[in-house]
Amino acid sequence: MHDFSVNKRLWDQTDELGLANRRRLEEARIYCINVMSAPGAGKTTLLERTLERIAPGPRFGVIEGDIQGRADADRLERFGIPVRQINTNGACHLDPRQVAAALDTMDLGSIDLLVIENVGNLVCPAEFDLGEADRVMLLSVTEGHDKPAKYPLMFRTADVLILNKIDLLPHTDFDLAEASRVARVLREGIEILEVSCRTGEGLDGWIAWLEHRLAHAKEHWDGMPHDHAPGQSHNHDHGPDHSHGPSHRHDPGPSHDASPGRAPNHRPTGGPASGA
Ligand SMILES: Nc1nc2c(ncn2[C@@H]2O[C@H](COP(=O)(O)OP(=O)(O)OP(=O)(O)O)[C@@H](O)[C@H]2O)c(=O)[nH]1
Ligand SMILES: [Mg+2]
């Protein structure tokens, strides 16, 4: 017989680890994004284009999640930034314990912007809070515009949706308007960026989004009162789980939503074992 109470206890522990990672990152003043998509949608390519184009300033760090191998880590290490490869050895997602172990090996004082590239998978990664401030979701136009409707969790928990490979639109029947419509039903007000990592179209908008979120995080940290240490939860008009990262939107910014949005510990029905 399946023991649901054991599953729940394991989940609670996983949630706490994600929260602990978030506090640790906030304490180190690191803005962290969790980049998720189906395999091959262009996560690593987007990071390469970003590192090539972004104005000097933010010091990057990367945690690469893959089932096996370090091909993506090798691609990013040529930018001279700290990269840690996590091999999940079969698991289809990263979990917060693995991220915490990777953080243990990094010099957090030398990173402003940490990118976690999750394992390519449209389902499982969305179930695990790694401690990120924002979730970046990629959907490439070769995957079909029905994917938001068929895999809603990933889209519901995303903070920004990048529709990638728009250079290939003429060769597909992908309906940008329909994909965007459903994504907005799932996540009201979500920012949607149409991008080609091949031609560079739309990349300026993505980089502007990233810089805006990083600046917002910094502003927030700078304005934090001194009566509670960075990253510590505290109480005023929100719950004890509230943390002061950029995922908390006192100021939604020009085009970002202020919805209660993705609870850090958001998960669907069905256990972490589903698909894992
Ligand atoms: N035509 C076109 N190809 C792209 C674009 N972005 C990425 N690609 C190609 O798509 C393939 C997969 O890209 P990756 O960046 O490795 O994808 P990924 O999401 O990191 O893949 P995994 O880490 O294996 O899940 C590569 O051959 C890229 O060159 C794009 O905008 N247009
Ligand atoms: Mg990759």
Q: Which ligand is nearest to the CA of 45?
A: 1
Per-residue pLDDT reduced to its tens digit, 73-115: 999 999 999 999 999 999 999 999 999 999 999 999 999 999 9
Q: Which of 99-108, 141-150, 180-189, 217-226 has the lowest mean pLDDT?
A: 217-226
Residue 93 CB less than 6 A away from ligand 1: no
Whether pLDDT at 2 is above 90: no
pLDDT-derived band at 271, boundaries 50, 70, 90: very low
Helices and strands: H and E segment counts in the chain: 8, 7
Q: How far are the Cα atoms of 90, 140, 228, 263 from residue 134, in angstroms, in the given order? A: 25, 19, 23, 11
Evaluate if residue 118 carries a pLDDT over 50.
yes
Instruction: Give the torsion sign (CA, 161, 165, 166, 171).
Output: negative
Ligand 1 atom closest to Cα of residue 47: 15
List the beta bridge partners of residue 113.
31, 60
User: What is the Cα–Cα distance from 123 to 53, expressed in whole angstroms?
Assistant: 30
Ligand 1 pocket test: pick from 35, 138, 197 the residue with the most ligand atoms within 8 Å of its Cβ. 197
Mean pLDDT of 14-22: 92
* Whether residue 246 has its Cβ less than 6 Å from ligand 1: no
Classified as helix, coil or strand, 34 is strand
Dist. CA 103 → ligand 2 center (Å): 20
User: What does the pLDDT read at residue 273?
Assistant: 32
- Candidates 91, 85, 87, 162; CA nearest to 128 is 91
Per-residue pLDDT at 135: 97
Closest CA to 176 of 207, 208, 201: 201
Element (DSSP H or E) covering residue 72: helix 71-77
Helix/strand/coil for 243: coil
CB 196 near ligand 1, within 6 Å: yes
Give the chain's mean pLDDT.
83
Model confidence band, residue 222 (pLDDT cutoffs 50, 70, 90) = confident
Report field, pTM of the whole predicted structure over 0.85: no
Distance (Å, whole) CA 185 – CA 238 = 26
Amino acid at the residue 91? A
CA of 131 from ligand 2 middle (Å) equals: 20
**From CA 272, how far away is CA 276, in angstroms rounded?**
6
Mutate to test the pocket of ligand 1, among 36, 45, 88, 138 (most ligand atoms within 8 A of CB): 45
pLDDT value, residue 1: 44
**Is ligand 1 within 6 A of the CB of residue 44?**
yes
Where in the chain are the domains? 12-222
Residue 15 confidence (pLDDT): 85
Q: Which fold has domain 12-222?
A: Rossmann fold (3.40.50)
Asked if residue 137 has pLDDT above 50, the reply is: yes
DSSP codes of every residue in 145-181:
TTHHHHSHHHHHT-SEEEEE-GGGGGGS---HHHHHH
Sign of CA dihedral 268, 271, 272, 276: negative
Token pair of 225 as six digits: 């009162």
Q: Which residue has the higher pLDDT, 167 or 253?
A: 167
